[in-house]
Structure 1
Amino acid sequence: MPTEALLAVLAGAVLHAGWNTALKAGGGSHSDAVLVVAGSAFIAMLLLPVLPAPSLASAPYLGVTTLLHVAYYRLLTAAYRDGAMSHAYPLMRGTPPLIVALCSGALLDEGLSPGAWVGTVLVCGGILGLTLLGRGSGPSGSAPSGSWRGNACALANALVIAAYTVVDGIGVRLSGAPAGYTLWCFLLLSVPMVGGALLRDARGFLSHARRRWVVALAGGAASIASYGLALWAMTIAPVAVVAALRETSILFAMALAALVLKERVGTVRLASGVVIALGAASLRLA
């Protein structure tokens, strides 16, 4: 993996963990998730006129990824409502890289080297170890790691994440304009999400937006930057490798969950973090 791609994906991982932590700290409400999308769309409208437009060949992929991202946000907030972030986040993020790696040969014509497979398996194994072996808890120590509903939402979201990763990996390469493609992703996503919120309760949503406008802008900017960096990296590195390396965000999410959300981080989680770090090093050297 080129050094510039590595640094871009790691920077995006920090941003991704940060806005997810902010979402969970705010209660993991769907309204806050919609605010983040609204903030992203506002930023996209400001920047799209001055950036190169993506090729029309990428338009079908933009349509499909919009639908997948609507499902992603709904499942994300549902998983966070019903379980600790330190449990739901690893469950959602640990499986998609393996699915992408298994599909990349047929769908992307990208076979992984043995070193890349080792790195992918280490990253995913370390992440899933957080859920399978660790015991998350809430701030008071009494909240369960995850309910049946929370686990189901997290696992369903893992499939959605794998799907939009492959779709966007193809789409961004066809676009010829990674920044423009990323911004159109968020602008199109805002139509069903923000439009739906306004149709359901316009007065309530606008009132919530006035109180939480910082969440909208900061979360929107972080979300665009995080995903945009990953999509750009996919234009110069294998999609499956980028997908696996991006999930090192769990290291940052784990630290933020402990420091900000006061969720317990024990020996198993620390050991899993070491495995994830070894996987990231293997991906860099592959």
Structure 2
Amino acid sequence: MSTAMPPLVLLAVLLAALMHAAWNAALKSQPDTFLAALAVSGGAGLVGAALLPSLPAPAAASWPFIAASGAIHVVYYLLLAWAYRHADISHAYPLMRGGAPVLVALAASTLAGERLQAAQWAAIGLICAGGVVLTIGARAKTADKPVGPSPTVLALMAAVLIAGYTLVDGLGVRRSGSPAAYTAWILIFGALGAIAVSWRRTEGRLPAFVLRKPGLVLLGGVATTSSYGIALWAMTQAPVAVVAALRETSIVFATAIAALLLRERMTRARVAGAGIIALGAVAMRLA
């Protein structure tokens, strides 16, 4: 597979990044991030189920990957909710999304047989460096608050899971013959698993929460499904590591949303970090 990224794929991945940042911000804005994460995952599962009748079934070779990705997504949703319960999005999101492409790039060349050019490695480094700068700025901003190691550890664990399902899905979607159906099934499995595992902890409050927040369920589900579906489709058109790194421009979008809608203060570190990530995205396109 060529390491070049077509313009259409580039634009699609950037749109996916925006949608991903938007639903994460919506989750963070809720008082109970745990119920919100279950509601969004449930909405994504419903969207996936609604699409299945019109989609061809994934090839048999992709089902082990679907099962593995669904299991990883269960843990990911729970860790995401836990991290956002204790940390600002400007602290947790860059750690999660900025750390993952480094792990993906290191593993994809071995597992997927992809060889990236030096310029593409440099672009991946820029995107990840921008995430680090944003994270440092977020920690400096909250230095006077009782922020312990737990949010950071949880965010880094989530980064490992993101890298894990990115690699699994990058391999699985190419075997599926139907990227849309592949996406629908992993979101269905992830939603069912997360709700089943967490049902006792929610003490039956999830249905009432869903009735109070139908917009979060619907829009969050659509954004989650569309964002990841676009990313998986892009992985059939360009190298997994390149798509994964470019998708992390969602950090820029999340920073803007945090400042404009969540009213988080925009610091120099955040501006610098967003600029570095944007530069990395441009370098990825020109590489």
Q: Same fold (TM over 0.5)?
A: yes
TM-superposed deviation, 1:193: 1.6
Please, what TM-score do these two structures have when normalized by structure 1? 0.94
CA contact (8 A) 2:137 2:267 kept: no
CA contact (8 A) 1:116 1:283 kept: yes
Distance verdict in 2 for CA 1:244–1:197, change over 3 Å? same
TM-superposed deviation, 1:147: 2.5
CA distance in 2, matches of 1:254, 1:49: 37
Matched AA of 2:279: L
| 1:50-129 aligned within 5 A | 50-129=54-133
TM-superposed deviation, 1:197: 4.1
TM-superposed deviation, 1:54: 0.9
Q: What does residue 179 of structure 1 align with?
A: 180
CA contact (8 A) 2:74 2:191 kept: no
| 1:2-81 aligned within 5 A | 2-27=6-31, 29-81=33-85
Q: What does residue 165 of structure 1 align with?
A: 166
CA distance in 1, matches of 2:202, 2:26: 24
CA distance in 2, matches of 1:197, 1:121: 37
Deviation per CA, 1:85-143: give whole Å up to 9, x if none: 101111111111111111111100001011111110000001111113454657xx975
CA contact (8 A) 1:84 1:137 kept: no
Percent identity at matched positions? Answer: 46
| Structure 2: gaps (5+ residues) | none
Q: Does 1:264 align with 2:250?
A: no
| Alignment RMSD (CA, Å) | 1.7
CA distance in 1, matches of 2:56, 2:139: 47
Moved more, 127-136 or 44-53: 127-136
Q: Choose which of 116, 128, 134 in structure 2 pairs with 1:130.
A: 134
CA distance in 1, matches of 2:240, 2:22: 23
Q: What does residue 209 of structure 1 align with?
A: 210
Q: What does residue 276 of structure 1 align with?
A: 277
CA contact (8 A) 1:61 1:171 kept: yes
Secondary structure of 1:45's counterpart equals helix
| Structure 1: gaps (5+ residues) | none
CA distance in 2, matches of 1:137, 1:87: 9
Moved more, 205-214 or 112-121: 205-214
Q: Provide the aligned length of Structure 1 versus Structure 2.
A: 283
Matched AA of 1:53: A
Secondary structure of 1:95's counterpart equals helix
Moved more, 196-205 or 12-21: 196-205
CA contact (8 A) 1:122 1:279 kept: yes
Distance verdict in 2 for CA 1:265–1:131, change over 3 Å? same
CA distance in 1, matches of 2:140, 2:229: 31
CA distance in 2, matches of 1:83, 1:95: 17
Distance verdict in 2 for CA 1:136–1:261, change over 3 Å? farther
CA distance in 1, matches of 2:141, 2:111: 39
Please, what TM-score do these two structures have when normalized by structure 2? 0.94
Matched AA of 1:158: A
| 1:143-158 aligned within 5 A | 143=145, 146-158=147-159
Deviation per CA, 1:127-175: give whole Å up to 9, x if none: 111113454657xx9756x421001101111111111110000000000
CA contact (8 A) 1:136 1:264 kept: no
CA distance in 1, matches of 2:241, 2:200: 38
Distance verdict in 2 for CA 1:203–1:100, change over 3 Å? closer
